[in-house]
Amino acid sequence: MASSSGENPTDGPVLLHGDLDLWIIEARRLPNMDWFSDHLRRCFDPCISLIPSPKPSSDPGDPEGDHDRRHGAKIITTDPYVTVSVAGAVVARSRVIPNSQEPKWNEHHLVPLAHRAASVDFHVKDDDLLGAELVGSASVPASRLLAGAIREWLPLRRPNGKPPKRGAALLVALSFVPAEETPLYRIGIAGDPERRGVREAYFPLRSGGAVTLYQDAHVREGELPKIELEDGRVFEHGTCWQDMCQAILEAHHLIYIVGWSVYARVKLVREPTRPLPRVATELTLGELLKYKSEEGVRVLLLVWDDKTSHDKLFIKTGGVMQSHDEETRKFFKHSSVICVLSPRYPSNKLSIVKQKVVGTLYTHHQKCLLVDTQASGNDRKITAFIGGLDLCDGRYDTPQHRIFRDLDTVFSGDFHNPTFAADPKGPREPWHDMHCRIEGPAVYDILTNFEQRWRKATRLRERFKKASHWKDDALLKLERISWILSPSSTIPNDHPSLWVSSQEDPETWHVQVFRSIDSGSVKGFPKNSREAIEKNLICQKNLIVEKSIHTAYIKAIRSAQHFIYIENQYFIGSSYGWPSYKNAGADNLVPMELALKVASKIRAGEQFAVYVVIPLWPEGIPTSASVQEILFWQGQTMQMMYEVIGQELKSMKLENVHPQDYLNFYCLGNREELPSDISENYDHPTENSPVNLQLSFSNVIRPWPENTGVS
C-alpha cells in the first residue's frame, strides 16, 4: 500500500475517535479498465449507430456528465469511485462517475470514527455489472492525520506496488477533530443553545410537539408502578393498541399503515380500560380498516413483501418469516382498502450479486400508523404512532407477560412460540416492546417518509394507471383540504400553526425523526449529488443513503454524561475491533462508541454505567445454526467491549474494579407456574431438546425495538 509524501505506512496504530472531515476531490490519469468492452463495442459500431442513444444517466450535478451531453457519449472506459477504509472497515464511498479517466467528484463527507488504525486507506475502483475491480490504492498515516489538516495528491499503487498507470493519483483533503474537542459533545444535544438537535440529519428538529410513550401493546390499570415527575406530576402509562384503535375509529380522511408485518385477523382491543364503541372489541384489524374505508376514509397499507412467501395458483407458502404478507394482500383484495406489498427494492445500479442479496435477505422494518385526528375547533391534524410494535399476531402483551394464563381468552388464537411445537396449552412467547404517539410538526416528516416509500413501491402501479387512464392518486393532497392542518407552499413544516404545545408548556417536546434508508426504497431523494449532500444524505457508489439513525446514536453516546440505556433485538457491531472475524462487515460504531465512552469516564475518574437489554437469544430455536451464528457475533461484540474497558482499567492501575461495574447486559425473562389443568397433561421435553433449553432459562421476553436512552 502506497503512502502519501513518503510517509512510513508502517507507523503503529493510533486511536482515531472523533470526526473525519473529508473531501474526495478528483483523480487523474486513471487507466482504461474497460478496454475489452470498448473494443467489443467498436466491432458492433455499425449496428449500434442505428439504435437511438439512451438518455444520459450521469449525475446532473456532475461536470463530467455535462461534458458528455455537450460532446456526445465518450468511449467506454473506467467507471471510477472511491472507498475510504479505516482498520479494514469501509467508512465512506463516493458516487460513481461513468466513463472517465479524469473524474471530478468534489464530494464532502463528515465521517465519525472510533477506530484504532495505522492509516486511512483510499481505494479507487472501477464499477462493473458483476462487481468492482481495484484500480489503485493510497493511504495517509493516522499519525500524520492527527498532526494537522492535509490536502494533496496521493499516488495510486496496485497491490504489487506498481502504479496502475504513470502519474495516476487521487486528490483528497482531510482533517480530524477528536471527540473530546467537540463542544457539542460536552454540552450534549439537549444543551445546544441553537436547539438544532442532530444537525447532520435529513429531517431537522421540530418544536411545538407532543409525545406519548408506550411500554408494550397494552398496560392494564395498576399493572405498573407510578412514576413521579417534576412539579408533583405523575407519568401516565399509555394503552398503545387501545389508543391506536380509537384513533383509527375516529379518522375522517386517511389511515396510512406501514409495517414489517400487518395481520388482518389480529384484534387490537382485548382488555379495555375505558368505554369504547362496540366495534373496537368485536372487529379484527382487517375488518376495522374495511369498516373505515366504507365510510370514505382513504386506507393505505404498505407491507414488506417476503419473497419467500407465495400464494399463486397451486403454490402456497407462508414464507421464512411468517409475516402473513400474502394473507393480508388477499384479505383486502376486493375491498376499497389499498394494500401494497413492498419488497426490499435493490437499486438497478447495484451489481447483479448485490441486487439478489438485498432483494432476498433484507427487509423493510419500519412500523407506523398515520391518521387524521381532531385539532382545535373544526380543524383536523395528522397524528403518528411509530416504534417497535407491528400490528400482527404475537405482539399483544402487557408488562405482566403472561405465559400460560388467559390463553383461551385474551390470547385465544393469537400466540406463538417458535421454540415449541404448536400447542394450545402454551407456553406463549412473551413480547416486550416500545412505541410512541407523536403530534405536531414532526408528524409531517413521518408523513413524508410514508409518501416517499409509497411512491417508490407503487411506481409500477403508476405506469399502469397512465396506460389505463386511471388518474386517481391514492395519496391525499392535504394542502387542498383546508381544514386539515399541514405544511404547504406558504406554510413551512415548523410553522407555529402546526404546533400542538407552546414553548412555555412543560409538556412540550422537541422532536426529530431519524431513518436508515436509501434511494432504492424511496422516491424523492435528490438525484444531484450536491443537493443530496446539502440535505445531509450520503452518496455511496450508485445510491443516495440516509444514515441519520446511526448518526443520532453516535451523537447521543458521545454526549452522555452519566448513563446509557439501550434495549434492542440484537446487539452486533464494530466488527473491525472483534477478537476474530474482523472483516465480518458489521461496521456500525455503536458498541465501540459505548466502550470508548466508558474508557473516557474511567480516565476522568467519573462514575458511568451502560445498561444493554437484549433477548437471551433471538427468536427461533436456540440450537439452530442461524440463532447460534447471531449469538456468536454478539459474543464477539461483548468480548471486544469488555477488552477495551479492561485495558483502560489496567492502564489506570485501578484495583478491585471490574468492567461489569460499568457495562452490563441483561435478558428479560419470566417464570410462571403451570395451571393445574395443564400441568397434569403437559408433555415435558427431553433434557437436551431445544424446548428444555428454553425452559431451563425461563421463557424469554423478546425486546424488539431500536430504542435507546441516554443521560
Is the pLDDT at 678 greater than 70? The verdict is no
User: What are the tens digits of pLDDT across the range 634-676?
Assistant: 999 999 999 999 999 999 999 899 999 999 999 988 888 887 7
Is the pLDDT at 328 greater than 60? The verdict is yes
Contact 263, 233 (CB under 8 A): no
H/E element, 135: strand 131-141
User: What are the tens digits of pLDDT across the range 536-548?
Assistant: 999 988 899 999 9
Instruction: Take residue 681 and report the three cell numbers written for it.
Output: 397433561
User: What are the tens digits of pLDDT across the range 492-523?
Assistant: 999 999 999 999 998 999 999 999 999 989 99
Task: Give all domains of the chain, ordered by start, each with its CATH number.
Answer: 4-181 (2.60.40.150), 206-397+433-511 (3.30.870.10), 560-710 (no CATH)
Closest CA to 549 of 382, 302, 711, 366: 366
- Establish whether the linkage from the previous residue to 31 is cis, with ω within 30° of 0: no
> What pLDDT, on the 0 to 100 scale, is given for residue 536?
95
Is the pLDDT at 705 greater than 60? The verdict is no
**Confidence class of residue 401 from pLDDT cuts 50, 70 and 90?**
very high
Percent of the chain with pLDDT over 90: 67
> What pLDDT, on the 0 to 100 scale, is given for residue 702?
57
Determine phi and psi for 553, rounding to 5 degrees: -55, -50
User: What are the tens digits of pLDDT across the range 193-212?
Assistant: 888 899 999 999 999 999 99
Is the pLDDT at 65 greater than 90? The verdict is no
Query: Residue 565, Cα to own-chain centre: how many angstroms?
Result: 19
Instruction: Take residue 153 and report the three cell numbers written for it.
Output: 495528491
Contact 657, 649 (CB under 8 A): yes
> What pLDDT, on the 0 to 100 scale, is given for residue 221?
93
- Let me know if 594 is exposed, middle or buried by CB neighbors in 10 A (0-12, 13-18, 19+): buried
What would the DSSP string read from start to end of 360-384? HH------EEEEEEE-STT-EEEEE
> What pLDDT, on the 0 to 100 scale, is given for residue 620?
81
User: What are the tens digits of pLDDT across the range 280-313?
Assistant: 999 999 999 999 999 999 999 999 887 766 566 5
**Confidence class of residue 38 from pLDDT cuts 50, 70 and 90?**
low
Mean pLDDT, the chain, integer:
86
Percent of the chain with pLDDT over 70: 81
Average of per-residue pLDDT across 31-49: 61
DSSP β-bridge partners for residue 83: 93, 123
> What pLDDT, on the 0 to 100 scale, is given for residue 2?
42
User: What are the tens digits of pLDDT across the range 412-458?
Assistant: 989 888 877 767 788 899 999 999 999 999 999 999 999 999 999 98
Calpha distance 304→453 (Å, rounded): 11
CA angle 555, 442, 342 (to 5 degrees): 90
For 332, residues 6+ apart whose C-beta sits below 8 A from its C-beta are: 264, 286, 289, 290, 301, 338, 339
Q: For strand 298-304 and strand 338-342, is the pairing parallel, antiparallel, or unpaired? A: parallel
Is the pLDDT at 8 greater than 60? The verdict is no
In total, the chain counts a number of residues equal to 711
Least confident of 179-183, 434-438, 549-553: 179-183
> 682 or 249: which carries more pLDDT confidence?
249
Calpha distance 708→566 (Å, rounded): 4
> What pLDDT, on the 0 to 100 scale, is given for residue 54?
44
Is the pLDDT at 41 greater than 80? The verdict is no
Closest CA to 642 of 709, 407, 634: 634
DSSP β-bridge partners for residue 342: 304
> What pLDDT, on the 0 to 100 scale, is given for residue 37?
54
